Chain A
């Protein structure tokens, strides 16, 4: 029996290796994503540990809650330093400040150019800490000592050929200042692509909006005092601060970044699992058809005394062999995939640090389990089917297998499976509670429904094939007709073969529906809420926006531009209502705000905003409802550092993009703001003003104030948002391409098997005068019909699920991304044509005589 299995496997080399390829690709995606995630995490661990190597204890401000905008630290008063220094066992303690938006600007030929990676890596600013806390090593010049002196990280400096002695400008949230590069330094480990500037502490406090404040205090322990001991002593002395050892701090920082890496990892893993899932369909259909074609061989074995169990074992053993070999190959290929994905991200401008490649035992085990599990699982039904082959089939020519119980009830079963899957998804979206329960029921439900769709599809395949095949019949005549009949005559085979493509197209459609929704949301908001003509923001509204911030003083420069009616700066503050854990976005509304932004009043009027007092607030309708607030209610809020303020609700406006919490006056916001920079400014033009002229006036005024500022119209913001959305979706699409590859392999495989099965038929067609070209065309049409069916089903399911989830989220509108979907059909068409090349060649090459004699 072993002979039969191994020899059989070898004699079906092409189909075995095509089947294996489907699994290899799936496994390699899973391995690749987990290896890459590990590499990135390892790199971050290394970077943060390296940067805290010489620090025993780190103090930061304890925060009341996490800001989901990503600002890590909250500045605190610098007098904390004296208290730290007073703790016994402290050898040395230094306060420092940080900026996540300190952009050096190189003036080349009179034109300012920011020294910043295009891919969105941050431009960081640090104040010099001095020995032993600085981890960079000066490689040229010296560290900054005086006002206006900076040192730059050597690799970023080299990009624009900045050397020691160069005169640059440094843009921060408090304005732009001339600086001199006095040194270049080297970090043992750098976060890929980030620009890093070191300034003196005094400059940092002044420029980074930290006057009298620190972001952290680094402590060196006296000899004989351990880091953890010192940490405990400082904690006792300063209970309001977060106190960690250097190693703990590094781990925390790494974990903060790690959660982002996890999201990336999950996305990659989801694609990996989807690939393996797509592979399962291909394994299933290949084994199913193969068993059908091996009826005589298996029946012969039965007449020679093989038991049902032996037949079952022989089919399963072949699957196991395919599974094990392809899992092993998939693991090796996965290492290549990890490299390829890293290169893809690099090429797209996400410079992620990538550490040493490490293949964990766990990953290997999981890869083997998934690879062989999927193969065995998918071949179980065909294997069981093979045991029903009667021995007498060895003698009766053209024996076919009687349909089993499952086949006879296929229609009902497939509808049940589909309903079950959709039910799970709906439960996940509307019924489940807890993120993991929601995600797992949606994910598992999607899986089950896709199986259901693949099974149910056989009911509609004849009709679908009729529609999709119509142009082929019209265009291709008889070969077109035969192709359509072929696609139709075995609906379940066509359905399952097209399922792999359906999965890929489903994923892309799903993402595309979301992306389209996000995009539409932005244009809707800009169209309906915004009355202002222009936005001014550092790096553009969606580019750096809230995080980067810029000097509020810019407003004065913009107001004097001819044609400008009003300028209203807007700032956002992360806050919580005291005594609750409800996050609240607090925005500032300058008196001119109602001219720039359309407020839809539930209670109150624009006049309220123009006369907003220090303790007055306007609340959005949704928050008012959920927090039981009405006009006249008073509420206390606090920011992350715990600074609180009490307001009285004066008006209620309908919830909209900028009104998702409180609107307060700019003066009232000052004590609550962690930094003084503004997110963006609205510019309203005078009626009848020449917009183009105003724009160029604004541009030159903004450039003078801060070269990073961008003047944007509504359309510019939409375009910028589109670019950003594409930056996320394009790599996803690129990775889903792996599933397309698997789908093509699947179609190739099924067509090869079909061509083999129809050897006689093709011989007959050839004998009665069908040309080779016509035979090839026939196969090609069938292939294209199959792939287009996959595309149609994938798009339908993708839109359906997208609509369901978007409806549930409620934040973004549902739109059908028509252009992308049309593109998907073109891609599916091309996939069909590509998949047909080999089978068509095979079919055309058949020798007519031999084909007719074929037994």
Chain B
């Protein structure tokens, strides 16, 4: 297999996904080509059912494509074994989900450290302190998720994703469950990570205001990339979205 010589952290080639078979088959992705450059803040937009989540799952190695290849940091993941995938997740990928990011029985701090503890890696205390300051959790570190607000929970999730210094952080509607003020706080936090730490981030969102924090916005339609744009204002994004629906 040829090595790709770009500075892409994640590279998908002809990624296709078909659910089911025969008459009832659904083509969620129809051969998407996408490279995410190091230090890029990517937003994936598109109407409901256009394949955003499917694309993200496949790029993150959570799901396998029906056709095509995906490389994370130069390593092919579509043919990797479960153990290899586990190691790639540990070292290269961070996740932020819409719901259920934190384990309810652990404190915020324990949730934060969880990936490093799972991997048995040492914790960089200075980095951790810096992140705790950045996510602004202060005195709530020893609280359980149930005692935190939705925004606080998502900020812990962001902090957790950052703590391992992954090659890329994926977020599937990370602000989908939040009001506009807390949503802005979380997006600002991600922006901050990209700007100050050079973190690569890719988020799926349907909220134009959230997408306006990104450097690059791709619009999916019927399982393919309809438009690939640079930084946009939220009203411009809204216009594109209207055109797609």
Chain B associates with chain A? yes
Q: Which of A1, A397, A855 contacts B118 (CB 8 A)?
A: A1
Q: Does A344 contact B (CB under 8 A)?
A: no
Q: Which residue of B has the minimal Cβ distance to A306?
A: B118
Q: Do the beta carbons of B86 and A306 come within 8 Å of each other?
A: yes
Given A392-B57, A392-B62, A394-B100, residue A4 in contact with residue B105 (CB < 8 A): yes
Q: Do the beta carbons of B110 and A3 come within 8 Å of each other?
A: yes
Q: Which of B57, B62, B82 has the most CB of A within 10 A?
A: B62
Q: Do the beta carbons of A308 and B105 come within 8 Å of each other?
A: no
Interface locus among A293-301, A405-413, A628-636? A293-301
**Residues 50-69 of chain B: 1 if any A CB is under 8 Å from the residue's CB, otherwise 0?**
00010001000011000000
- Residues of A contacting B104 in the complex (Cβ-Cβ under 8 angstroms): 11, 297
* Shortest beta-carbon distance from A1 to chain B in Å: 6
Q: Does B128 contact A (CB under 8 A)?
A: no
Q: Do the beta carbons of A10 and B105 come within 8 Å of each other?
A: yes
Q: Does A8 contact B (CB under 8 A)?
A: yes
- Residues of A contacting B99 in the complex (Cβ-Cβ under 8 angstroms): 397, 855
Given A1-B118, A305-B86, A395-B97, residue A300 in contact with residue B57 (CB < 8 A): no
Q: Does B119 contact A (CB under 8 A)?
A: yes
Q: Do the beta carbons of B172 and A1 come within 8 Å of each other?
A: no
Q: Does B106 contact A (CB under 8 A)?
A: yes
Q: Which of B86, B101, B106 contacts A4 (CB 8 A)?
A: B106
Q: Which residue of A has the minimal Cβ distance to B119?
A: A305
Q: Which of B53, B105, B110, B117 contacts A395 (CB 8 A)?
A: B53
Q: Do the beta carbons of A392 and B118 come within 8 Å of each other?
A: no
Q: Do the beta carbons of A307 and B83 come within 8 Å of each other?
A: yes
* Shortest beta-carbon distance from B162 to chain A in Å: 13
Q: Do the beta carbons of B62 and A308 come within 8 Å of each other?
A: no
Q: Do the beta carbons of A305 and B90 come within 8 Å of each other?
A: yes
- Residues of B contacting A391 in the complex (Cβ-Cβ under 8 angstroms): 62, 89
Q: Does A724 contact B (CB under 8 A)?
A: no
* Shortest beta-carbon distance from B62 to chain A in Å: 4
Count of A-B contacts with CB under 8 A?
Answer: 75
Q: Do the beta carbons of B97 and A305 come within 8 Å of each other?
A: no
Q: Does A146 contact B (CB under 8 A)?
A: no
In Å, the complex CA distance between A397 and B172 comes to 13
What range describes how many residues of B lie at the interface?
A: 20 to 34
- Residues of B contacting A390 in the complex (Cβ-Cβ under 8 angstroms): 62
- Residues of A contacting B110 in the complex (Cβ-Cβ under 8 angstroms): 3
Q: Do the beta carbons of A3 and B86 come within 8 Å of each other?
A: no
Q: Do the beta carbons of B114 and A304 come within 8 Å of each other?
A: yes
Q: Which of A4, A296, A308, A310 has the most CB of B within 10 A?
A: A4
- Residues of B contacting A296 in the complex (Cβ-Cβ under 8 angstroms): 100
Q: Which residue of A has the minimal Cβ distance to B58?
A: A392
Given A305-B86, A308-B86, A392-B57, residue A300 in contact with residue B101 (CB < 8 A): yes
* Shortest beta-carbon distance from B243 to chain A in Å: 29
Name B98-153 residues within 8 Å CB distance of A.
98-101, 103-106, 110, 114-115, 117-119
Name A5-39 residues within 8 Å CB distance of B.
7-8, 10-11
- Residues of A contacting B119 in the complex (Cβ-Cβ under 8 angstroms): 305
Q: Do the beta carbons of B89 and A303 come within 8 Å of each other?
A: yes
Q: Does B41 contact A (CB under 8 A)?
A: no
Q: Does B95 contact A (CB under 8 A)?
A: yes
In Å, the complex CA distance between A448 and B83 comes to 36
- Residues of B contacting A10 in the complex (Cβ-Cβ under 8 angstroms): 105
Q: Do the beta carbons of B100 and A4 come within 8 Å of each other?
A: no
* Shortest beta-carbon distance from B85 to chain A in Å: 8
- Residues of B contacting A3 in the complex (Cβ-Cβ under 8 angstroms): 106, 110, 117
* Shortest beta-carbon distance from B70 to chain A in Å: 14
* Shortest beta-carbon distance from A683 to chain B in Å: 79
Q: Which of A8, A11, A304 contacts B115 (CB 8 A)?
A: A304
- Residues of B contacting A397 in the complex (Cβ-Cβ under 8 angstroms): 99
* Shortest beta-carbon distance from A296 to chain B in Å: 6
* Shortest beta-carbon distance from A783 to chain B in Å: 28
* Shortest beta-carbon distance from A153 to chain B in Å: 64
Q: Does A650 contact B (CB under 8 A)?
A: no
In Å, the complex CA distance between A306 and B95 comes to 13
Q: Which residue of B has the minimal Cβ distance to A301?
A: B118
Q: Do the beta carbons of A307 and B57 come within 8 Å of each other?
A: no
In Å, the complex CA distance between A394 and B63 comes to 12
* Shortest beta-carbon distance from B183 to chain A in Å: 19
**Residues 166-190 of chain B: 1 if any A CB is under 8 Å from the residue's CB, otherwise 0?**
0000001000000000000000000
Q: Does A640 contact B (CB under 8 A)?
A: no
Q: Which residue of B has the minimal Cβ distance to A391?
A: B62
Q: Does A638 contact B (CB under 8 A)?
A: no
**Residues 76-94 of chain B: 1 if any A CB is under 8 Å from the residue's CB, otherwise 0?**
0000001100110111000
Q: Do the beta carbons of A305 and B118 come within 8 Å of each other?
A: yes
- Residues of A contacting B63 in the complex (Cβ-Cβ under 8 angstroms): 392
Q: Which residue of A has the minimal Cβ distance to B53?
A: A395
- Residues of B contacting A300 in the complex (Cβ-Cβ under 8 angstroms): 97, 100-101, 103
In Å, the complex CA distance between A390 and B91 comes to 18
Name A72-90 residues within 8 Å CB distance of B.
none
Q: Do the beta carbons of A304 and B95 come within 8 Å of each other?
A: yes
Q: Which of B86, B91, B98 has the most CB of A within 10 A?
A: B86
Q: Do the beta carbons of A395 and B62 come within 8 Å of each other?
A: yes
- What are the 9 closest A-B residue pairs judged by CB atoms, nearest first? A305-B90, A7-B105, A11-B105, A392-B62, A304-B115, A307-B86, A306-B118, A305-B89, A305-B118
Give B contacts to A, CB under 8 Å: 53, 57, 62-63, 82-83, 86-87, 89-91, 95, 97-101, 103-106, 110, 114-115, 117-119, 160, 164, 172
Q: List 11 A-B contacts (CB under 8 A).
A: A3-B106, A3-B110, A297-B103, A297-B104, A303-B95, A304-B89, A304-B95, A305-B86, A305-B90, A305-B91, A306-B118
Task: List 6 other contacts, CB 8 Å, given A301-B103, A305-B164, A306-B118.
Answer: A1-B117, A3-B110, A7-B106, A11-B105, A304-B95, A394-B95
